[in-house]
Structure 1
Amino acid sequence: MLEDGMGFADEHLIPLVDEGLGNSAYLVDLGNGRALAVDAARDLRDLRAAATRRGLTVAFAADTHLHADFLTGALQLAHDDGATVLASAAGRRAFPHTPLGDGDEVDLGGLTLRALATPGHTDEHVSFLLLDGARECGVFTGGSLIVGSAARTDLQGADRAEELARAQYRSLQRLTKLPDTTAVWPTHGAGSFCSAPPGAERITTIGAQKTANDLLAAPDEDAFVRRLLGSLDSYPVYFDRLGEINRRGPALLAAAPGLDPLNPERVRALLANGGYLVDARPIDEFAAGHIPGAISNPLRPAFATWLGWLLRPDVPLVFVLGPGQDGADLAWQCAKIGYDRLAGQLAGGMNAWRANGGPVETIELVTADRIGTRPVLDVRQTAEYTAGHIPGAAPRELGNLAADGQDAVDGSVVMCGHGERAMTAASLLARHGARELAVLAGSVSDWAKVTGRRLEDGS
């Protein structure tokens, strides 16, 4: 139960969840047709739809930190809606905003927003305490206190991870001094690579976290640091770029991004000049026939994460889509992480390519009962692998394959949790020259069920 905080949230606050990035933005109805947006991403479609439904104009856009996993939408809201951007003074943003120091307050017109310095996830991180008079309605904690954990502290480099983890400890201690009934509205949630644990809950209360958050149960600072740093896994390489882009201010979008139609000849020319071809169709369609050299990245909520992890943003991108797939959604997913060099999509899809005489390659899809004695390459995250894997399977995270895919073993069966990451991996390996690859259509649980054998755990 969120008690006082939930009562406020039900009436005035709209969480806007990006399932792909595992993040939440928030729209707060301030009354009189005005709204506050917190941690809005560059893809503002859901936020604008929510504002329109309530007849709201965004008057304030607050960012808790220099985001690493998406481009901020605050600057676009300032341009389009006249919103006042609120952010930490320590962030040294290079565009017009209201810089806030610890304890500074902003009158929202009946409600008050108070900045609380909570460094750790980033140096300049602030939380925003929302006050109704003297009552603490809730706190936007960004990448500080999150449901069941605290956000990672290694985004400024491994050499600073411990220093920032200690800062994170002090920030969480500060937040837990708020009343237990105070609602906690974090940005990062399940599915985020910013160290969020699995789970369906995305908002909580201070009191609930005092009871259930393992990090808050650490007996002292050193134990907290060990637990937090010990929980960190790899993260997408594009995280290293976006913080600085957000500090300078992302380019404004004059219109919604989209994909121009390209004929097969134009696609060939772009690829010959160093462009990448991304095939966004479902894995069964990709397996049945794709353009040689294409990288499989099925259009789904996680599309942007893997695009940003595996491909550079400074080369033209050509896409293959299947019937019914939304090119506008794909273009928005690219835009929210700063991938703006979209050459377009193959007009007519694979039918047009085949009709033009273009070559086609296939990759075998296999079920768990058909792996046999073939070597298995497991491309899941390390934590997933250690929790349970096929005996003898070689671990190789998908995020590393762009650099070392040339070491793949011909004839391998590539596997992940469902098949999408495995097909992406197989397509990358094929680009590096691997042959006779197959992809497991299923999971390790399917293998255990079919074979009756136990999974191995550990590394």
Structure 2
Amino acid sequence: MVDVHVIETPGLGDRSYVATDGDVAVVVDPQRDVDRVLDVVGDARITHVFETHVHNDYVTGGFALARRTGAAYVLNADDEVAFERTPIRDGETVTSGSMAITAVSTPGHTPTHLSYVLSVDDHPIAVFTGGSMLFGAVGRTDLIDPAIAEELTRQQFRSARRLAASLPDDTEVFPTHGFGSFCSATETKGDASTIGKEKQQNNALTSDEDDFVDELLSGLTAYPRYYAHMGPLNLEGPSGPDLSLPALVDPVVLRARIDAGEWVVDLRARRAFAAGHAPGTISVELADPFATHLGWAIPWGTPLTLVGDDEDQVLEARRHLVRIGIDQLAGASVDAPEVLSPDGRPASYRRATFADLADELPRRGDDIAVLDVRRPDEWTDGHIAGATLIPFWELEHRMDEVPAGEVWVHCQSGYRASIGASLVDRAGGRTVVHIDDEWDAVADTDLPVDRGHGHD
């Protein structure tokens, strides 16, 4: 009997997999913190580590895991990596105990993308589809080079159809992306599927090619800036991560780093940050979106110091960050805001709702500047009339474009707005209000909403 274990990384919207017959195991697309994989594997021997593709949204743990366990590290023979590996091509099969794993060329998400069909007794029971066939969707096709996105999109269409045509309907589908990952081209459906189910719900299998291409390309949105660094790191063969506690720094050193313009990130809940924080710190709440949004916002290579409630919170944040290649931390602090603030006086700002904005905006007019820090596609779908769009990852370097007045910062849920509000607060000289509310709440107010590009 073969079991497939799912290892979820909800912060990045990805899954890794362990397939085992109890004696041996194979691993597919492991995240960098491979201690989670080893916990699942237990006493079984890992024989192979498979990569469906060179990942663009996280640093792989495959290279380090294979070196640590002596497993074969299996990648597409056409991937130009800087290390020794076990190359595999379309149609080739490797065996591990009672399991047979066959590579299937499924280009689209990347030009060299592979899926892996897991068979027992010559019967396919599962297919690991990486960024090819997702649940009701497919992986995006513009990460390698937007100039070839249409070509890759057509390949993605044909790859999904190849899988559907060659596998039994009861074959379980196990994608790497599609659980909130920006590697998904369109919204996914559900958290489990089979080839038969995908024939009914996947847009690559229910549309004709031209309609599919139009839908996918029109649905592509902005993706995190740190993606640009993931592929090169993975081609080099990344080492295992350092998950130790960063060196603790005293308040004097912390203040010097803030004054020097370094990023000092407060991990605490955003409402706690608004109530009191060391001046000049940036709020990125330690929650599922943490690594994605910090990696998106921080200029790559900027010295980073973490401020947390306790050492466990700092350690958890470090685990999130190594997954996207932020390895070098300048240090950490677990001191209270009063200790870290000059004269023991933390900074603070107001939290509000869209209902509060609807109440105050008509009375105060130009005294309020509404700052929308969402993605441009979210803005196009609907935005508050008269608001200014500056995506949160551009805000630090576009602060001079924030209009005069008391700055009310919002996003879709309040999470990114906390980053934006703290950046405005850090810049100084402005009164900031953090709209910590769901965008859907706007519909219950009299706030005027425009659609389309508007001004940005």
Which letter does structure 2 place at the counterpart of 1:83? Answer: A
Question: Is 1:332 the equivalent of 2:319?
Answer: yes
Aligned partner of 2:347 in structure 1 is 361
Moved over 6 A (4+): none
Using the size of structure 2 for normalisation, the TM-score is 0.90
Alpha carbons of structure 1 residues 315 and 396: separation in structure 2 relative to 1, 3 Å: closer
Question: Is 1:270 the equivalent of 2:283?
Answer: no
Aligned partner of 1:428 in structure 2 is 423
Q: Deviations over 1:259-294 (max 9, x none)?
A: 221101222333455532111111112112223322
Aligned partner of 2:400 in structure 1 is 406
Q: Deviations over 1:5-47 (max 9, x none)?
A: xxx7xx6011111111111101111331x21111101022432
* Match of residue 153, structure 1, among 114, 127, 141: 141
Instruction: Confirm or deny: 8 A CA contact 2:131 2:184 kept in the other structure.
Output: no
Using the size of structure 1 for normalisation, the TM-score is 0.90
Q: Deviations over 1:241-266 (max 9, x none)?
A: 1111101111334x533222110122
Aligned partner of 1:311 in structure 2 is 298
189-198 or 393-402: which moved more? 393-402
SS in 2 for 1:60: strand
Superposed, 1:112-131 pairs within 5 Å as 112-131=100-119
Aligned partner of 2:391 in structure 1 is 397
Aligned partner of 1:68 in structure 2 is 56
* Match of residue 299, structure 1, among 270, 277, 286: 286
Instruction: Confirm or deny: 8 A CA contact 2:137 2:188 kept in the other structure.
Output: no
298-307 or 370-379: which moved more? 370-379
Aligned partner of 1:51 in structure 2 is 41
Gaps of 5+ in 2: 362-367
1:341, distance to aligned residue in structure 2 (A): 1.4
Superposed, 1:118-267 pairs within 5 Å as 118-177=106-165, 178-195=167-184, 197-198=186-187, 201-219=190-208, 221-253=209-241, 255-267=242-254
Q: Deviations over 1:298-333 (max 9, x none)?
A: 001111101211113423211111258621111111
Instruction: Confirm or deny: 8 A CA contact 1:195 1:231 kept in the other structure.
Output: no
SS in 2 for 1:412: strand
Q: Deviations over 1:387-417 (max 9, x none)?
A: 4444444333323324433311242211123
Q: Which whole-Å CA distance do the structure 1 matches of 2:402 and 2:81 have between them?
A: 44
Aligned partner of 2:266 in structure 1 is 279
Using the aligned pairs only, state the percent identity. Answer: 35
Instruction: Confirm or deny: 8 A CA contact 2:352 2:436 kept in the other structure.
Output: yes
Instruction: Confirm or deny: 8 A CA contact 2:33 2:240 kept in the other structure.
Output: no
SS in 2 for 1:59: strand
Which letter does structure 1 place at the counterpart of 2:415? Answer: E
Which letter does structure 2 place at the counterpart of 1:239? Answer: Y
Aligned partner of 1:41 in structure 2 is 31
1:202, distance to aligned residue in structure 2 (A): 2.9
Q: Which whole-Å CA distance do the structure 1 matches of 2:40 and 2:88 have between them?
A: 27
Q: Which whole-Å CA distance do the structure 1 matches of 2:82 and 2:229 have between them?
A: 16
Q: Which whole-Å CA distance do the structure 1 matches of 2:90 and 2:142 have between them?
A: 23
Gaps of 5+ in 1: 1-7
* Match of residue 375, structure 1, among 369, 376, 385: 369
